[in-house]
Amino acid sequence: MSEDDKYPEESGRRRFVKGVVGGAALAGVGATGSVVVNSATTSPGKGGGATQAWAIENTGGPAPRGMPQIPLEIDSEGYIRGIWPSVETVTQGGRQIQVAEMDLGGSTYSSEWFQYCGVEGYQGIQPSYESDNYFRSGSSPAYTWQQNAKSQGDRFHVDDFSNYEEWGNGIGQAGLGKPATGTWRSQDASDVIPIQVVRSTQVEEAAQDDEWLQASTQEGFIAWLNKCTHFCCVPGYKQTESAAKFDASNEVYCQCHQSTYDPYSVVQTLFTARPRPD
Ligand code: FES
């Protein structure tokens, strides 16, 4: 599917644009469009090293940076899956290793984006781990809609989010976006990779003139690795009333030490990815 197909003109997405809230949040997303991408990611270890990634912005608390975005696509039947970079063998430090890396939306997208908090040792993060890459509902969904509609292991479908323009759960403002919690590349693996996916009009609007978002989101869906970059807890979008104390009712909130993230502000981060263990 070409990038143009992801947001076809006939989608009518412009009519989804909200007023003040959308405009404020869009300013955050849109500002990323001018960032120059440095594709020269260095990898001194087994796929580790200085890494530049797109992430949902860290807006407060002790977390050092945002959580890495997972580029996604929707298949011909309407199921949502993450994009995994193409795998190739390269020579690093005299050794041959596998890397998963590709050009996407004017950036270099690499599996190194997810190599922190021990995830670098997970089976699903190994470049050649075989997976269909679909996002699946986890064992204990955080949202009532998901508990009612999905069983563990079910794939997410566009229709699951059809009321995303109105959805709310009493936390923060309704209509900002409809979320789900799930897993990725964890079928038959011993470690589970936690993800969040949200469908929002704000993402649709922001993607209109942003090369990266055009390539990494579709029909308003955005996803990220749901591991707090502070001490690796699993945060949540609109999952707890206590987020209000930290002005995060409409953001992603980590209960461990009150870090907050804005899923509608995608920014670039530079960090040292941990090498994968053998
Ligand atoms: S704020 Fe410390 S683990 Fe999230």
Q: Number of folded domains in the chain? A: 1
**Ligand 1 atom closest to residue 63's alpha carbon, by position in its atom list:** 1
CA atoms of 146 and 163, how far apart (whole Å): 13
- Asked if residue 67 has its Cβ within 6 Å of ligand 1, the reply is no
CA proximity to 202, closest of 250, 134, 143, 156? 250
Q: What is residue 100's predicted lDDT score, i.e. its pLDDT?
A: 93
Residue 246 covered by a domain: yes
181 pLDDT more than 80: yes
CB 259 within 8 A of CB 47: no
Show the domain range for 65: 27-273
46 located within any domain: yes
**Per-residue pLDDT averaged across 50-77, rounded?**
97
In a domain, 20, yes or no: no
To test the pocket of ligand 1, the residue of 259, 260, 261 to mutate (highest count of ligand atoms within 8 Å of its CB) is: 259
- Is the dihedral angle over the CA atoms 198, 200, 202, 206 positive or is it negative? positive
Look at residue 92 in the predicted model and tell me its pLDDT: 76
The response to whether residue 64 sits with its C-beta less than 6 Å from ligand 1 reads no
CB 170 within 8 A of CB 185: no
Average pLDDT over residues 121-135: 95
Is residue 175 domain-resident?
yes
In a domain, 182, yes or no: yes
pLDDT of residue 113: 96
152 within domain boundaries: yes
Provide the pLDDT for residue 259. 97
Predicted confidence (pLDDT) per residue in 131-172, tens digit: 999 999 998 999 999 999 999 999 999 999 999 999 999 999
Q: Which run of H or of E encompasses 60?
A: strand 49-60
- For the beta carbon of residue 188, count every other beta carbon within 10 angstroms: 9
The per-residue pLDDT of the chain, averaged, comes to: 86
Record the pTM.
Answer: 0.85
**What's the token pair of residue 79?**
């199921």
What local confidence, expressed as pLDDT, does residue 48 receive?
Answer: 80
Residue 183 amino acid letter: T
| Main-chain phi, psi angles of 260, to 5 degrees | -130, 150
Of all residues in the chain, what percent carry a pLDDT higher than 90?
73
Q: Is residue 11 part of a domain?
A: no
Whether 34 shows a pLDDT value over 50: the answer reads: no
Which of residues 12 and 183 earns the better pLDDT score? 183
Decide if 206 is inside a domain.
yes
If you search the block for the tokens 């403002």, which residue do you land on?
173
How much distance in Å is there from the Cα of 186 to the middle of ligand 1? 23
Is a pLDDT exceeding 70 seen at residue 29? Answer: no
In Å, the largest CA–CA distance within the chain is 56
Pairwise CA distance, residues 172 & 165, whole Å: 14
